Amino acid sequence: MNRSLGVGLVTGIFLLATLLVGVPAVDGSPAAPEPAPLSASTAPVDQTDRSSGFLQQSDQTAQFDSVEFRIAVHENGTGVWTFRYERRLANQSEREQFEAFAEEFRTNESHPLYTGFEKQASALVAAGTNVTDRQMNATNFDRSAGVREDRLNEPGVVTMSFHWTNFAQQDGQRVIVGDVFEGGMYVAEDQSLVFRSGGDLAFARAVPDDGRQMSNDTLATSDTVTWVGAQEFTDNKPRVELAPEDTVGQSPDEPVTAPATSESDPWMLLAGVVVLLLGVGSAVAWRRDGAILDRTGPDDDADEAVAATPDSNDDATATEAAVDEEELLTDEDRVTALLEDNGGRMKQVNIVEETGWSKSKVSMLLSDMEEDGAISKLRVGRENIISLDGHEPEAAGSPFENDE
């Protein structure tokens, strides 16, 4: 790979960070310096004046308490990358300031944070193509921001995601992640790297064992595998292998040999990964001005009790039972049922109207459901079209379909 690409990644995100430098913290005071979100353990960094300035300035915009990098791996090798940033909101003033930022971020298609994320992710995926000899593409970009009212202490959350096609190697039925991590990685404190098994896949192997956290008692029955920082990974680590659920537990296949690459290319790809995570993580900030988040009433306001009349006791009992049953459903189940009742496909704005939930809650819930493979999203103009599997618009196809 041409070395200028790695420098270009640093330069591009430096420019993005510069747009947001000097933005006050949530409380209006300058932000205190914080550690870089991700850095290479041994990868070389171009110490130009510009990249050095980026590192110094971006530290001042680090405004989030925790960062989670999620990678959902699917059968065809697609990795759904989601960058999730969370901040505690100490008081009503902080909440209002964050909501103003979230509203602008969600509605402004040209928001510099999001457009910068798109450009740098696309450049990184192009670098991955050169390093691995697999044709890769960055598609299905998405974003959300808002206050999570369903979480303890109601934190402010920002997420950005994209689909990285051919991110993982395919060897028969096995899907293997690791060759893009040449040179190793370092996950800093208050950060975590999460792999999720997509589709009908299950984890067959995940190394290193040190620091590995599983969502269940065994690797094969876990939906996620997590490494929490601070943790340093050696060459080609982390390495994650997935296989169809009914085959996990059989003798593993022979290790897959990564495609031959030039000596310098893996280092430059790693530098690109590091810069993307560093730049996006540290560039997130919000302004004190902007429109307040458009909110609806509490979720339970949408469920109105049906009054019974003396001559309709049976109807009243049935209605109360239906309401009770609906209250037992999870938010994901309610959205799924709503989609099924509407032919498997709806506009996101209609889901907001039907549920009575806030725009931010629906946006973040749908992002989580898409990451889990429960739904797919297609951007058409200014609208998001939400579809169940098999109900995608004919022109779009499945979001996990190989681009061949």
DSSP secondary structure string for all residues of 312-334 = -HHHHHHHHHHHHHHHHS-HHHH
Q: Is pLDDT above 70 for 17?
A: no
Identify which has the larger pLDDT, 353 or 309: 353
Q: For residue 106, how far is the Cα from the chain centroid?
A: 15
* pLDDT value of residue 179: 82
* pLDDT value of residue 56: 28
Q: Is pLDDT above 50 for 184?
A: yes
Element (H, E) at 359: helix 359-371
| Closest of 96, 116, 113 to residue 290, by C-alpha | 96
| Closest of 3, 403, 404 to residue 164, by C-alpha | 403
Q: Is pLDDT above 70 for 37?
A: no
Q: Is 141:118 a contact under the CB 8 Å cutoff? A: yes
Neighbours of 115 (CB within 10 A): 14
| Single-letter code of the amino acid located at 273 | V
Residue 337, classed as helix, strand or coil, is helix
pLDDT mean over 225-254: 80
Range in 182-191, 204-213, 293-302, 370-379 the model is least confident about: 293-302
Q: Is 21:61 a contact under the CB 8 Å cutoff? A: yes
pLDDT mean over 164-185: 86
Identify which has the larger pLDDT, 171 or 131: 171
| Closest of 69, 45, 40 to residue 237, by C-alpha | 40
Identify which has the larger pLDDT, 273 or 199: 199
In a 13 Å sphere around the CA of 131, the CA atoms on its Cβ side amount to 30
201-207 and 212-214 beta bridge pairing: unpaired
| 318 CB-near residues (< 8 Å, 6+ apart) | none
Peptide bond into 310 cis (omega under 30): no
Average pLDDT, the chain: 70
Q: Is pLDDT above 80 for 242?
A: yes
**What confidence category does residue 57 fall into, taking pLDDT thresholds of 50, 70 and 90?**
very low
Query: Can you read off the two tokens belonging to residue 331?
Result: 């938010």
